[in-house]
Structure 1
Amino acid sequence: MTVTLHRHSTLTPAARRDLLTAYADVRSPLLHLPNYSVTAFTERLERHAAEPGFTLVLGRHDGEPVGYAYATSVGPGDPFWERLADPLPEGFTAAPALALREIGVRTPWRGTGTARRIHDALLAARPEGRTVLMVNPLAGEGRVRRRYEDWGYRAVNRQAATAHSPELTVMIRPTR
């Protein structure tokens, strides 16, 4: 199955439609939870699309969306850093980082390397020296976190649980 990758620096109507289609399929078992609903995701997506450094990579097969990843740039003083539960080392946020906000691949393309290709295309040519993400450590019975570790991420912090989200592990790696 050939997957072509398409990079977007703005959220066009077509890209938005394809992303929401893929998201709804990828997260279908969780859509009943408030934080995972398509409405909640759409609100986050619209907010993120307006932030500095927004980049979206969509994977398509025969014109159909099969996976996606998007990120924004977070610099010093960005509210992203305020969400972390534990104090950060002095100077940790001095340089911008790429915040990987969301990544997902539809079931037929899982285990094919598609997620890694989308991830790597998202990070390609980014000016930030490091990439940070938050992951539910229980997702996929821990397999999702282990996959990120295989890709070079390491745990550095956590985000405390909220009414709509479990505690998340904050992971980081060099962008290249």
Structure 2
Amino acid sequence: MTTAPTIEFRRFTDLSTARGDLLDVYAEVRAPLLHLPNYAVTAFGERLDRHSSEAGFVAILAYADEEPIGYAYANTIEHGDRYWQRVTPAPGDEYTAQPTVALKEIGVRPAWRGTGTARRIHDALLLTRDEKYVTLMVNAAAGDGKVHALYREWGYEDIGHSQPSPASPLLTVMIRRIG
């Protein structure tokens, strides 16, 4: 892509009108992995439905020429949340004593990668948040380590590991301050 059309960010706290667009982008973003049970569109849809019913849920979808090109979504996690319980070593109270944003998913269609779109979606999502910290989980092998390195460039630090489900790979848990 040589010239980028204007990107519009749309914020959703209810996915009734955006779920289809989000699933379409997910399927293209994760196409090489869809044969794995944890990455199947149906498994993602189930996680999405669960996450969208949790406290503090928000999704940002990016559109160019009315076509969805990327997304991110997050919700709030509290002290004692199962998210924190699965992290080893256990993170300190510095991170877990107050509500924290858990960035659950972010993805950008392949044609839009390398354009700064993922970072813009990420930042648009965080603009809506009042929490002190944001955390995420990343497969350190994704993109031959490039995704993990990108999050480090964005200011995230490794704090542990988690395997959210038996079908999930071991993920690196990262955190950074918001703002």
TM tier, smaller: over 0.9
Q: Taking every aligned residue pair, what percent have the same amino acid on both sides? A: 53
Query: Which letter maps to 1:133?
Result: L
Separation in structure 1 between the aligned mates of residue 38 and residue 87 of structure 2, nearest angstrom: 18
Distance 1:129 1:47, change over 3 A: same
Give the number of equivalent residue pairs: 175
Separation in structure 2 between the aligned mates of residue 163 and residue 98 of structure 1, nearest angstrom: 24
Query: Which letter maps to 2:102?
Result: A
- Backbone CA RMSD of aligned residues: 1.3
Instruction: Answer whether contact 1:68 1:104 (CA < 8 A) is retained.
Output: yes
Partner of 1:4: 8
Q: Deviations over 1:12-40 (max 9, x none)?
A: 2x210100010000001000000000000
**1:94 corresponds to 2:123:** no
Partner of 1:136: 139
Which residues of structure 1 form unaligned runs of 5+? none
Q: Which structure 1 residue ranges, 4+ long, deviate > 6 Å from structure 2? A: none
Q: Structure 2 residue aligned with 1:36, among 36, 39, 43?
A: 39
Which residues of structure 2 form unaligned runs of 5+? none
Query: Which letter maps to 2:13?
Result: S
Within a 5 Å distance, the mapping from 1:157-172 to structure 2 comes to: 157-160=160-163, 163-172=166-175
Separation in structure 1 between the aligned mates of residue 178 and residue 67 of structure 2, nearest angstrom: 28
Partner of 2:77: 74
Partner of 1:126: 129
Distance 1:128 1:31, change over 3 A: same
Superposition TM-score, scaled by structure 2 size = 0.94
Separation in structure 2 between the aligned mates of residue 118 and residue 141 of structure 1, nearest angstrom: 22
Partner of 1:15: 18
Distance 1:103 1:50, change over 3 A: same
Query: Which letter maps to 1:73?
Result: T
Separation in structure 1 between the aligned mates of residue 93 and residue 74 of structure 2, nearest angstrom: 24
Superposition TM-score, scaled by structure 1 size = 0.95
Query: Which letter maps to 1:8?
Result: F
Partner of 2:67: 64
